[in-house]
Amino acid sequence: MDGRAPDPLAGALLDNRYRITGRIARGGMAIVYRATDVKLERQVAVKVLDIASVRSSVSGSRAAELTAGFHREARTIAKLSHANVVAVYDHGVHDGSPYLVMEHVPGRTLRDVLAERGALAPVVALYLFEPVVHALAAAHRAGLAHRDVKPENVLIGGDGAVKVVDFGLAHAVGAATEPADGNLFATAAYVSPEQVAERRADARSDVYSAGVMLFEMLTGRLPYLGDSPAQIAYQHMERDVPPPSRFAPGLDRALDDLVLGMTRKDPKARPADAVALLTGLRAAREAVLAAEERTRTPTPTPTQVLAGLRPSQDQAAEGRPEGHLAKRRPARTRRRNRLLLAGVGCLVIVPALLLIPALSLIPQGPRPSDVEQTTTPAPTTRSPAPSRQPADPGRSVLVRPPTTPADRPSQTPEQPRPAKPGAKQPPNPPDHRNCPPGYEDEWWYDYCR
């Protein structure tokens, strides 16, 4: 036993429809339960106003006004449909305590993230903050102010969706209690100066509270600290919010300008509503992204690493002075020269390759060895000489090489032939050195000189 009193709503069935299955969180004004809609068979969140904690500030005549105002705000919120706003499904009263039935967003709050990580990176902070501004802009267009913007009311789902909850709840409670004793039903750390001094709030008050929340997201701390909520609220009214870069050096100046513009003490100096704030927020985001892009050191690729090392390696291998490689011809010029040399080589080599087979087809003349042979072929193997007409002594004689082995002269030296009977002897001894071989039987052979 832990000594704690059992929760009276544990297992309760509200309006014969919503079965309470557990507690999610407890805030200053309400308790959030997990419940099951038995009609639609879906998980929902039920926020029950802790009437005991606020009853001391509410007189008997104000109790009914509190309930009526709560239901009025619930109906207004139910009409608000936006992806970054927690949807309201139903509302009612259980044992005198008003409750809201809302969309169940499994995940955690922005307060849990800040408690775990502290200051967020600018890009991450803007990523989470921009959906909050979109939700406020949707409410401001509908004429509804939140009046209690803080990290506890920003839900971050398991899928990364950012949603804002509790629109109008502070207004419903504050309208019934503030005239009685002047107490402020808002979180002192994020309250605007006009809420402290004049007990009034509008869209510009939401802008101020959102600026304080962005300050905490960027720095991991609140702009003002104090021993009590009253001391913190008084500083909001009397002092200016410092720039975030004072506590987080290195932040882009655009973020300082954004936060300082949202947290001016004079409401007229702030953006009129969240719709006007979106323009400045987007400009700041672009400035932050551009600054990170300029300061980001790109990781070199392997090709870039090798390209950076190649000149030093070449210089070391060739023993050339530093800066020699810078005088080399451009890569385009070297490539063009190589292509030109390759073209000239092709013009020379290709015709030569084509000419070699053509030369082999040209007929060859008589070989000198065949012409100079003067020996006579053997009688038994020699073919009969072709019959030819007497040649004119003044004409040149066609000399043909032997075509068959039988026509080829033997290797024995020529023997002098006996003179024919009755033949006229030449005046001089015959000299057949210039006579063609194979024509010895011709009548003119003896006159050949």
User: How wide is the angle at C-alpha 242 spanned by C-alphas 238 and 247, nearest 5°?
Assistant: 140
Name the token pair of 290: 């551009």
Instruction: In whole angstroms, give the CA distance from residue 246 to residue 251.
Output: 9
Give pLDDT tens digits for 237-286: 999 999 999 999 999 999 999 999 999 999 999 999 999 999 999 999 99
Of the listed 15, 95, 112, 148, which one is catalytic? 148
Q: pTM for the whole thing?
A: 0.62
* Residue 169 or 251, more confident: 251
Q: Are 115 and 35 in contact (CB under 8 A)?
A: no
Report the range out of 147-156, 193-202, 311-320 with the highest average pLDDT.
147-156
Over residues 352-367, mean pLDDT: 68
Q: What is the pLDDT of residue 9?
A: 85
Structure tokens at 437: 């071989």
**pLDDT recorded at residue 71:** 76
- CB 425, CB 447: distance < 8 Å: no
What whole-number distance in Å separates Cα of residue 130 and Cα of residue 126?
6
- Regarding the domain delimited by 13-295, which CATH topology (the fold level of the hierarchy) does it fall under? Transferase(Phosphotransferase); domain 1 (1.10.510)
Query: For helices 203-219 and 253-262, what crossing angle results, to 10°?
Result: 140
Q: Is 163 strand, coil or helix?
A: strand
How many whole angstroms separate alpha carbon 256 and alpha carbon 45? 37
CB atoms within 10 A of CB 191: 25
List Cβ<8 Å contacts ≥24 apart for 409-412: 409/373, 409/374, 409/375, 409/376, 409/377, 409/437, 409/438, 410/375, 410/376, 410/377, 410/378, 411/375, 412/375, 412/376
Active site annotation includes 50:
no
pLDDT value at 135 more than 90:
yes
On the question of pLDDT at 174 being above 50, the answer is no
Provide the residue ranges of all domains of the chain, joining segments of one domain with +: 13-295
- Residues with Cβ < 8 Å from 98, sequence gap 6 or more? 48, 49, 51, 66, 67, 70, 71, 74, 91, 92
